[in-house]
Amino acid sequence: MLQPRLIYPVRIVEVGPRDGLQNEKQIVPEDVKVSLINRLGRAGLKDIEAGSFVSPKWVPQMAGTAEVLKQIHHSKEIHYPVLVPNMKGLDSLLSLLQSSTSSEPLTDEIAVFTATTDSFARANTNCTVAESIERLAPVVERAISAGLRVRGYVSMVIVCPFEGKVVPARVREVTQKLLEMGCYEVSLGDTVGMGTPKDWEDMLNDVTGSVNVSTLATHDTFGMAVANVMQAVSMGVRTVDSSVAGLGGCPYSPGATGNVATEDVVYALHGSGYETGVDLTALAETGFWISEKIGRENVSRVGRALRAKQVREQSRQKE
């Protein structure tokens, strides 16, 4: 008698509208961002980064986040986290939330970020890792007291372009500090995409020696990303950050390529006995739609394969 196939849920955090678009050279219109978020929601994604409250001087692509939050179609089932780098950013968000007349909260979650190395932290936020954590503590405390969930990001968990190989113990230390601060989850980012499944195994073995794996997420870039994601998931990680069509890349990390494509991650997970709740066909269509809108190549291999199959089928129907 055949045993029923076990299905394991994996949560996808879609970072395309924020981490993906923030590195585009051209300014993406607000209506395009709004449509992208709405399309991703219809494709079944339940966690969609909607933008960030950062200085438009440094990240001009995120200047319209407040308007985007006002215009998107809100669903009670979907979280729309926004990146908040400091207290000024949180002040702006809280003012927006207080002034909103919407029956639904514009967002119920923020994300904060730090790194494992001082060199990258200085390049990204002009301070050391210790200084960054010290600055974030009151931001997290105030956000939680205002009823917001807080998610943490840690960059450079495998290799730093300035300092080289990162010792796993350093990742564990920073992760613990973010969790102790009040973050409900910490996303571990291989920002330059140089890690291998063995690197992730070694790093996660160290981190999970002191941190519950249920509080961790993986955030990987191009290179070996899908293989690394599957390695992390096989070790119990149940949240994966990814970006539709592979949008994105880190402007402060020399050599960083782009984020792992959500389409590729979903395909790999579904084919390996995991469930995401995402409609892969609708997701792939969204990937091509946004790529065409901003004039860039869709780097999702699964997305391109599905598009090629669709074209072939349409061609046969015309014969």
- Which domains are delineated in the chain? 8-318 (3.20.20.70)
The 10s digit of each residue's pLDDT in 135-183 is 999 999 999 999 999 999 999 999 999 999 999 999 999 999 999 999 9
The helix-helix angle for 280-294 and 30-42 (nearest 10°) equals 170
**CA 278, 208, 83: angle at the middle one, nearest 5?**
50
The 10s digit of each residue's pLDDT in 1-36 is 555 556 789 999 999 999 999 988 888 999 999 999
Residue 101: which pLDDT band, with cuts at 50, 70 and 90?
very high
Which residue is catalytic, options 127, 160, 183, 250? 250
Query: Is there a catalytic annotation at residue 127?
Result: no
150, 112 in Cβ contact below 8 A?
yes
